[in-house]
């Protein structure tokens, strides 16, 4: 579904069925092509042709651990607890 504002927006369901809204372009045809690509990619991920975790696998493990550490702190855990868990994982 396309909605017009200054830029066009694309609304589609990803491979998990979650409704996503993505900013498109000022050009309607370019945004329609983007929408088709997003829907095609979702269908390929759902059928197993594309690995949906490929981007995450490219990141170093240390980056994931650091992000998890930040999430623990944001959740309200003490820095002592978060540091202890990060040390155990590392």
User: Are both 40 and 68 inside the same structural domain?
Assistant: no
Per-residue pLDDT band at 2 (split at 50, 70, 90): low
Please give the residue range of the domain that contains residue 36.
2-47
- 39 shares its domain with 69: no
Q: Is the pLDDT of residue 86 over 90?
A: yes
Same domain flag for 38 and 73? no
Query: What per-residue confidence (pLDDT) applies to 9?
Result: 92
Report d(CA 69, CA 62) in Å as an integer: 10
- Give the relative orientation of helices 61-74 and 79-89 as an angle to the nearest 10 degrees: 160
Q: Considering the entire predicted model, what is its pTM?
A: 0.59
Helix (H) or strand (E) holding 31: helix 28-47
Residue 1 has pLDDT above 90, yes or no: no
38 with 7, same domain?
A: yes
Nearest to 45 by CA among 12, 15, 13: 15
Q: Are residues 28 and 63 in the same domain?
A: no
Number of domains in the chain: 2
Asked if residue 4 has pLDDT above 90, the reply is no
In a domain, 13, yes or no: yes
- The neighbour count for residue 14, using CB atoms within 10 Å, is 15
Alpha carbon distance 53, 45 (integer Å): 10
* Domain annotation covers residue 78: yes
């Amino acid at each position: 579904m396309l909605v017009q504002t200054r830029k066009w927006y694309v609304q589609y369901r990803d491979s998990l069925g979650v409704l996503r809204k993505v900013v498109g372009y000022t050009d309607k045809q370019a945004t329609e092509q983007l929408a088709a690509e997003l829907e095609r990619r979702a269908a390929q991920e759902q059928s197993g042709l594309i690995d949906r975790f490929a981007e995450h696998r490219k990141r170093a493990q240390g980056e994931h651990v650091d992000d998890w550490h930040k999430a623990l702190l944001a959740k309200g855990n003490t820095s002592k607890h978060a540091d202890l868990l990060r040390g155990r994982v590392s």
